[in-house]
Structure 1
């Protein structure tokens, strides 16, 4: 009975983890893939400045979505730690810490977006100064997400390792997560090494598959029973 209660609590923790992970995915898609391009035009700080002034409400929605990504990423990291800490403490700490670094990286982007909105709607009279500052902030936003790929990849490694080692989620899910983590690391290094590799963007596909698989499994099934504890009964 004690084991049943513990398992029910773990399933509850797993599903809450899945909810935070789902929120992170949804806000990430809306913020970075939907709203971002409506405001921040790559290579065109003048148009970006115009958008920040004329579409200020849209820019603030983009900023709030960045807040939501930071919060949901941090809470996902905390709940993953809670889910795995009892049996895989070292790995759970690694997963939680690297997940928090992800949140801090995205927070740099959020700070830059907030600064861009403030500068665009400030009393700075020289448009040239505004454009230069917006251009600088655009680069910071882009590189926060770009270089953040290092830790976007790193946090998938202990996640996948725990899945494979524990067998409490599908083993192939763990393998795909590990492959996705390596893909993120390699993709980021190739990009910033200045290597022209046309297939670079495809290296992160396993990560996307693994993360949505993880979200679905946590929400639908939760987590399997501990095989070792069952054998010891």
Structure 2
């Protein structure tokens, strides 16, 4: 294949990857950071039950956004694999597989949201039973995202490694992404070890910076020509 044509195809693949990554970020922000707290009230399953009934349409928007996160996460993983597989096959497989595990973790959350909506609007007469069930599924949703942080961090390692090794994207981008992966792992372990660390949420800040940097670079520049 002509080198220029191959590079153009890679840039196209990189930009499609960036587009899916951007869609994942947008749906994640809307679903988890905007709509979630409107329905699911932490530590208050009774209020959550009321929201699921009185704001059912909003709850279903939350659910559909969770579907969108799952789909865009899966497609982002697949397109990253396509982008890097020719020169970094093992790392690309790792990136793709761990990205799919992220999608599976979020799918568990989606299943739990759908079940909670169904229970809240079911014919179960005892409110206490509904509240108890809502509490169970609310905890599953929270822990699917929380424990999912392990693989939210892990998939950043092969991504950052490929960036650094290939030099086809900024080397410091790869370093920030790996630092973000470390932050996700440490943050998740601290949370589930029961350690009270008020700055825990800041540990994932490098990941946020790195991922949005990656999205911007893929969409604007694509990928550099091989230096080999």
**Shorter-chain TM-score above 0.5:** yes
Q: Distance in 2 between matches of 1:186 and 1:33?
A: 21
Residue 156 of structure 2 corresponds to: 156
Correspondence 1:70-219 to 2 at 5 A: 70-219=70-219
In structure 2, list runs of 5 or more residues that go unmatched. Answer: none
SS of 2:86's equivalent in the other structure is: coil
CA-CA distance at 1:10 after TM superposition: 0.2
CA-CA distance at 1:167 after TM superposition: 0.1
Deviations 1:152-187 (A, max 9, x none): 000000000000000000000000000000000000
Instruction: State yes or no: 1:5 paired with 2:1.
Output: no
CA-CA distance at 1:137 after TM superposition: 0.4
Correspondence 1:19-30 to 2 at 5 A: 19-30=19-30
Residue 31 of structure 2 corresponds to: 31
CA-CA distance at 1:118 after TM superposition: 0.2
SS of 2:150's equivalent in the other structure is: helix
Residue 51 of structure 2 corresponds to: 51
Q: Distance in 2 between matches of 1:66 and 1:197?
A: 29
In structure 1, list runs of 5 or more residues that go unmatched. Answer: 229-233
Q: Distance in 2 between matches of 1:56 and 1:200?
A: 33
Equivalenced residue count is 228
Q: Distance in 1 between matches of 2:94 and 2:195?
A: 30
SS of 1:148's equivalent in the other structure is: helix
Q: Distance in 2 between matches of 1:51 and 1:190?
A: 31
Residue 231 of structure 1 corresponds to: none
Following superposition, which runs of at least 4 residues in structure 1 exceed 2 angstroms of deviation?
none
CA-CA distance at 1:196 after TM superposition: 1.0
Q: Distance in 1 between matches of 2:226 and 2:207?
A: 26
Deviations 1:102-134 (A, max 9, x none): 000000000000000000000000000000000
Q: Distance in 2 between matches of 1:211 and 1:13?
A: 17
Q: Distance in 2 between matches of 1:196 and 1:113?
A: 28
Residue 220 of structure 1 corresponds to: 220
Q: Distance in 2 between matches of 1:60 and 1:89?
A: 39
Deviations 1:81-108 (A, max 9, x none): 0000000000000000000000000000
SS of 2:36's equivalent in the other structure is: helix
Q: What is the aligned-residue RMSD (CA, Å)?
A: 0.6
Q: Distance in 1 between matches of 2:44 and 2:101?
A: 30
Residue 17 of structure 1 corresponds to: 17
CA-CA distance at 1:199 after TM superposition: 1.2
SS of 1:69's equivalent in the other structure is: helix
Q: Distance in 2 between matches of 1:176 and 1:207?
A: 7
SS of 2:225's equivalent in the other structure is: coil
